Every structure is written in C-alpha cells, then in structure tokens.
Amino acid sequence: MRRPLVVAALVALAACAGVLGLRKSGPQPFPHRAHVLANVSCTQCHGQLDHDDGTALHVPEDKSCTTSGCHEKPHDTHACLDCHATPEALAQLAAARDHLAFDHARYLPRTHGDCMRCHNGVAEGDDHMRPAMATCFKCHDHDAQRDARKCDACHKSLEAGTDMPAGHLAHDGDWVHEHGVRAASSADLCQTCHAEKFCASCHGVTVAALPATQHFADPFTPSVHRAGFAARHSLEAKADPGACQQCHQPERCATCHRVKGIAGDGRTSPHPPGWVGITAAESSHGREARRDPAACASCHGGAGEALCVSCHKVGGVGGNPHPPGFSSRVRLTEMPCRMCHK
C-alpha cells in the first residue's frame, strides 16, 4: 500500500519539477566552469572591461566564441546565448548595471585579471553572477558609511525601490504586520531605500487611495486591505481593537458608514438589545466601550460625548465610569474631565 503512494509521489514530484524550479527547462546556465577548466580566461570573452562607462553589460558576442578558434563550427545558427544563458541572468546583469555604481576598470589592475576574487560563485550557475554584498566587505571597510546610512557610494537610486534586498534585510514572512516593531529601532535604515511616500501611503492622514486600491491589478502588492477586506473589516476590528486607529482617525468609521447608508439619519440603532439597562448586568455598552473605545468615539466623539455624561457624571445614574485605580495627568478644568467634574 505504501509503495504505490511513494511511487505516485515521486512521479508527481518529477512531473512538477520544472514548475517548482527543481529542474531547469529551456535555456541552460552558461557553462562557466567548463571554460575555466579549459583555461579560457574571463577577459578572453568578456572584453572591454577596461573601458567601463557604466552602461555596458560585458556580455560576450558570438564572435568571441567563434573567432578565437574555440567554436569554429557552431552547431546552430542561433546566437550562442539564446540557449547557453538564462534570460533571468541577463536581466540580473541589467538590473545590477542600473542599480550599482561600479567600474570594473578600477579593479582590473588590482585583481590582475582574477575575476573569481569577487565572482566566486560563478561556477555554481547563473544565479550567482552578482557577488553578494558580503564579498565587497572582505576588502572594503564600510563601517563608517553604514553607520551614516550612506549607501550611495555603491547603490544608485535605492529610493526608486527597483531592487529588493535578498541577502540582507529581506522583507519576507508576514512583513506587513512585523515592519512596525522592526522599524522602531532602525527607521533611518528604512529611509535609505523607502521614500516618504512609502510610509505616508498607509500612515498618512491625507491618503487618497490605499496601495491595494492603487495597485488593484497586482494581487501581490502588500496591504492589510486586500481582497474582500470591506466585507470582513468589522470582524477584524473586533478581534484586534485599536488596530484601525494606528492609521485611521476614529471619525473615519462614521463618515464611511454614513455615506454607504449603514449608519446615520433614518437608520435604526446599530446597538444590539440589552445595550443600555437599569443595572450593570443588564447593560452591555460599558463593557463594549472598554473593549473598543475607538468604535464608540467614531459616532459619539466630540459633541456626542454629551450623551455619555448625561448619565455618567458625578452624582448621575450611570455611576463612576473610571476603572479602579484610574489616574490622569489631565487637569480637571480641561477636556474631557470638565464635562463631569464641574
């Protein structure tokens, strides 16, 4: 019984290997290792490294394969790199050129043509063409720049956000919920890549449309308001009181509900039976107000607070609304204390 299942699982895995990225299909990574073993120097194919103007990709042309006497009779009429290099690797090269301020010509005299000092992972496949940042730090001491958050000596246009960090500061996992506590001690580090509009697009008072609305066509844009949030937002708010007020003003609930006809003039009370009763046991509004005070403030804030203090005042039938041990630095002559403590 177990054997057929194992066989079926292996067959399924093999069938899905290409989709899962376990087996490469289509163009194959360039065989750098074979060329190194054949004593072909890097600069023999990657020419013009000593004339680096920051725009060239230094990708070999077909003639560097054929005219050097190595591959005099190509087996195909297509360009060599159409099959012997992955499109992703070429895209990474272009991204690196756009993103990094790097001049190969400066390093050639120091490395004496030994490109492997930096490109030490090139034999492992095309995924390792761009050296990890730690490779740079083997020779370069950037502690001072790192402390000063000066990344622009090497990184161009970090604020454009075109290149997500992969090796360090990776934004994986539940980053939407985690970023607040991470940013608390390193907001300046966040600012090296993220412009003001990135924070303000969620945390601003004057937001026109949230990222989920602006990027409706991209389902992978991170946002807490994705998909059917409008339907489930009341459930999420009740499970996590105060979460909405981290970005929204309390009045936001009432404004939107009035517009959509869910609350406002002519509507019945949104409160369930037993909301206000004679005794505390018969009255649920106090408990609910303590559980989610911002929800109450949304409708009953400002002038609406008068409704509360009509009962909850010194000598009033509502009794003392403060919890045991309550203290405040607000003076009794100021709002909201003076509403009751006259």
Partner 1 sequence: MNRATTIALVLAVVLAGMLGFETSAHGDPLTLRADALATTQSPAGLVMLETDSKLSSTVSAEAVVWTAASPLPGEHAGDVLVIALRARTADGRASTQLGRFVAILGATRPLQIDGAAGRVQLPHAFYTEAYAGIPVLAGLGTGRAWDWAVGARIARKLGDYGSVGLAMMEQRDDGRLATEEVGADAGVAFGKRDDVAVKLAYDLANPAVADAEVTARHVHDRSLRFDLYAGYRAASHLLPATSLFTVLGDIPAERGGARVTWKAAPRLEISADAGVRYVEDDLAPALSAHARLALDDTSRSALTGEIRRDGASDDAWTGLSGAARIALPYALFVSTELELVIPDSDRTPGGRYRGRAWPWALAALGWDFSAWHAAAALEASSSPESRARIDALLQLGRTWSGP
Minimum CB separation of residue 173 from partner 1 in Å reads: 5
- In the set 4, 197, 265, 314, which binds partner 1 (CB under 8 A)? 197
Q: Does 276 bind partner 1 (CB under 8 A)?
A: no
What lies within 8 Å, CB to CB, of 202 at 6+ separation is: 210, 211, 223, 247
Question: Which of these, 136, 137, 152, 246, lies nearest to 191 by C-alpha position?
Answer: 152
Q: Which is nearer to partner 1, 138 or 150 (CB)?
A: 150
Q: How far out from the chain centre does Cα 299 lie?
A: 34
Give the residue, chosen from 21, 69, 109, 266, that forms a contact with partner 1 under the rule CB under 8 A. 21
Binding to partner 1 (CB under 8 A) within 211-230 occurs at 213-214, 216-220, 226-228, 230
203 binds partner 1 (CB under 8 A): yes
- Nearer Cβ to partner 1 (74/165): 165
Structural contact between residues 264 and 304, judged by C-beta atoms closer than 8 angstroms: no
Based on CB atoms, which residue is closest to partner 1, 1 or 181? 181
Q: Which of 6, 15, 38, 181 binds partner 1 (CB under 8 A)?
A: 181
Q: Is 180 in the site for partner 1 (CB under 8 A)?
A: yes
Type of residue at 37: L
Instruction: Tell me which residues in 281-310 interact with partner 1 (CB under 8 A).
Output: 286-287, 289-294, 296-297, 300-301, 305, 308-309
**Of the residues 65, 154, 183, 224, which one makes contact with partner 1 according to CB under 8 A:** 183
Can residue 259 be called a binding residue for partner 1 (CB under 8 A)? yes
Give residues with Cβ within 8 angstroms of 40, minimum separation 6. Answer: 70
Do residues 102 and 154 lie in contact, with contact meaning Cβ atoms separated by under 8 Å? Answer: yes
The answer to whether the peptide bond before residue 336 is cis (omega within 30 degrees of 0) is yes
Q: Which range in 37-45, 101-109, 116-124, 318-326 contacts partner 1 by CB under 8 A? A: 318-326
| b/e sequence 252-275, b meaning 16+ C-beta within 10 Å | ebbeebeeeeebeeeeeeeeeeee
Q: How many secondary structure helices (H) and strands (E) does the chain include?
A: 18, 0
Spell out, one character per residue from 150 to 169, where the chain touches partner 1: x when CB under 8 A holds, - when not.
x-x---xx-xx---------
Q: Which of residues 112-131 bind partner 1 (CB under 8 A)?
A: none
Cβ 333 to partner 1, closest distance in Å?
A: 11
> Where does this chain touch partner 1 (CB under 8 A) — which range of 37-45, 60-68, 103-111, 185-193?
185-193
Residue 302's region, left for phi above 0, alpha for psi from -120 to 50, else beta, is left
d(CA 236, CA 215): 22
Q: Establish if 209 lies at the interface with partner 1 (CB under 8 A).
A: yes
Where does this chain touch partner 1 (CB under 8 A) — which range of 4-12, 76-84, 99-107, 193-201? 193-201
Name the helix (H) or strand (E) containing 37. Answer: helix 32-37
